[in-house]
Amino acid sequence: MMPELGKYEIEVLSSYAVSIGLLVALVVISVLRSRKARAALDAVEERSKRNG
């Protein structure tokens, strides 16, 4: 089903690969950071609740 990319195959494919790769990386990093921040906040809030 691959379209006839002709002589520009490398250019088009590499553009898509790089762009999608970078976007996925950004999303993954953002989600990981979010989880870390959530965990850190929960930990500190737990401690402060216990200590009054």
Partner 1 sequence: MGSIWEYANPKKFISTTDKLLPWVSVLAVAALVTGLIWGFFFTPEDYKQGSTVKIIYLHVPAALMAINAWMMMLVASLIWIVRRHHVSALAARAAAPIGAMMTVIALVTGAIWGQPMWGTWWEWDPRLTSFLILFLFYLGYMALWSAIENDDTAADLTAILCLVGSVFALLSRYAVNFWNQGLHQGASLSMDKAEHVDDVFYYPLLVSIAGFVLLFVALVFLRTQTEIRARRTRALLARERLGQ
Cα 2 to Cα 6: distance, rounded to the nearest angstrom:
11
- Give the shortest CB-4-to-partner 1 separation in angstroms: 7
Residue 28 binds partner 1, judged by CB under 8 A: no
**HEC string of 9-47?**
HHHHHHHHHHHHHHHHHHHHHHHHHHHHHHHHHHHHHHH
- Give the shortest CB-18-to-partner 1 separation in angstroms: 5
Residue 50 binds partner 1, judged by CB under 8 A: no
Residue 24 binds partner 1, judged by CB under 8 A: no
Residue 14 binds partner 1, judged by CB under 8 A: yes
